[in-house]
Amino acid sequence: MLSRSVLEVAVILDRVEGVRLSDKADADAKSEYKLAVSMSEKKRIPGELTLNFTLDLTCQPQVAKLTVAGSVKLGGAEEEVAEIITPGEEKSPPKVVETIYERTYGLLYVLAGGLKVPYPKPNLLKKRTFQTT
């Protein structure tokens, strides 16, 4: 068993949904997306942790809702896995959330384009931090 020096992250999608909630939705309109993240442990074996996740993106004002759900498999040393699921600095989400969002962003972008609703932006910030500034 050779040791793995790099953490492996595999994102597998089970569900992709996009809903246009209003006829007034305009792809070019200025808007922002709120992302609700829900994650839970599915399976844990030595050197591997599998998490179920759901990312719900809701456009503000509410003209669209995009959802991706699936599982993410993290393979590597225990410390590396613990590090990626631990929330980062005050403003940043855990690395695993950022990675899932990065990997699914292209799909969300295409989905938004197809629905003719505003495009979500690529970076994530913790909501409460954003509200206080």
4 binds other proteins (CB under 8 A): no
Radius of gyration of the chain (CA): 16
For other proteins, give the closer residue by CB, 23 or 90: 90
Cα–Cα distance for residue pair 108/103, rounded to 1 Å: 10
Q: Are 92 and 99 in contact (CB under 8 A)?
A: no
Binding test (CB under 8 A) with other proteins, winner from 30, 45, 89, 133: 45
Binding test (CB under 8 A) with other proteins, winner from 16, 67, 94, 102: 94
To the nearest whole angstrom, how small is the minimum distance from the Cβ of residue 27 to other proteins? 15
- Number of Cβ within a 10 Å radius of residue 107: 14
To the nearest whole angstrom, how small is the minimum distance from the Cβ of residue 131 to other proteins? 9
Nearest to 50 by CA among 70, 79, 80, 77: 70
To the nearest whole angstrom, how small is the minimum distance from the Cβ of residue 40 to other proteins? 5
Q: What is the footprint of other proteins within residues 102-121 (CB under 8 A)?
A: 120-121
| Binding map of other proteins across residues 59-78, x = CB under 8 A, - = no contact | --------------------
- Number of Cβ within a 10 Å radius of residue 113: 11
